[in-house]
């Protein structure tokens, strides 16, 4: 991983978010497998949507406010655009074509947050990133799983 703190290690926030991104990507791979067993695919897609919704809501509650205060207007707009894209995609039925769109959105999201968290770490420092990592973990435990939350 290229995201580092001054010691050369990823911050706690970067590590937690990267782990969640890997989990979501794994759920996406599983949901895209064509299985003949009735109901399995729908269940896998449901698990993906729940995990993704909780993750996006956690980022919105922990990372977005920090971006708002510490980074520039371009980064704030990137976060808002990412959120709009997922709101549009998750509002409808998820089938094969939508899963392709969702896969592309997830890939874009992961790339966006890799750079965003690096810039955030540079702006706020390693101690704040560690605190945010702890806050992210706690918020993830109780985050609403519907995105956006109703």
What integer is the mean pLDDT of 81-91? 92
How much is the pLDDT for 4? 44
How many domains is the chain built from? 1
**What digits encode the pLDDT tens for the residues 126-135?**
999 999 999 9
Q: Is the pLDDT of residue 141 over 90?
A: yes
Q: What is the mean pLDDT of residues 113-138?
A: 96
Per the listing, tokens 């969702």 go with: 102
CA distance 141 to 59: 12
The whole-angstrom separation of Cα 61 and Cα 59 is 5
CA distance 124 to 142: 25
* Confidence bin at 34 (pLDDT 50/70/90): confident
Residue 5, in any domain of the structure: no
Q: Would 4 be classed as within a structural domain?
A: no
Q: To the nearest whole percent, how much of the chain has pLDDT over 70?
A: 91
Q: What is the mean pLDDT of residues 96-110?
A: 91
Q: Is residue 18 part of a domain?
A: yes
Tell me if 148 is assigned to some domain. Answer: no
Residue 7 has pLDDT above 80, yes or no: no
Residue 6 domain-assigned (yes or no) = no
H or E element that contains 20: helix 12-31
100 lies in which domain range? Answer: 12-142
Long-range pairs, 20-27, Cβ under 8 A, ≥24 = 20/55, 20/58, 20/140, 21/55, 21/106, 21/109, 21/110, 21/113, 23/51, 24/48, 24/51, 24/52, 24/55, 24/106, 25/106, 25/110, 27/51, 27/52
**Res. 39: pLDDT tops 50:** yes
């Amino acid at each position: 991983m290229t995201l580092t703190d001054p010691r050369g290690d990823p911050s706690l926030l970067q590590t937690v978010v990267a782990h969640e991104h890997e989990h979501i990507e794994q759920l996406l791979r599983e949901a895209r497998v064509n299985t003949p067993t009735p109901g399995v695919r729908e269940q896998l897609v449901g698990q993906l949507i729940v995990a993704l919704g909780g993750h996006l809501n956690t980022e919105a509650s922990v990372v977005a406010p920090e971006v708002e205060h510490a980074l520039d207007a371009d980064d704030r707009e990137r976060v808002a655009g990412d959120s709009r894209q997922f709101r549009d995609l998750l509002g409808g039925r998820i089938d094969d074509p939508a899963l392709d769109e969702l896969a592309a959105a997830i890939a874009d999201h992961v790339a966006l947050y890799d750079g965003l968290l690096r810039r955030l770490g540079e702006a706020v420092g390693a101690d704040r990133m560690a605190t945010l990592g702890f806050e992210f973990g706690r918020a993830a435990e109780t985050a609403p799983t519907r995105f956006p939350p109703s």
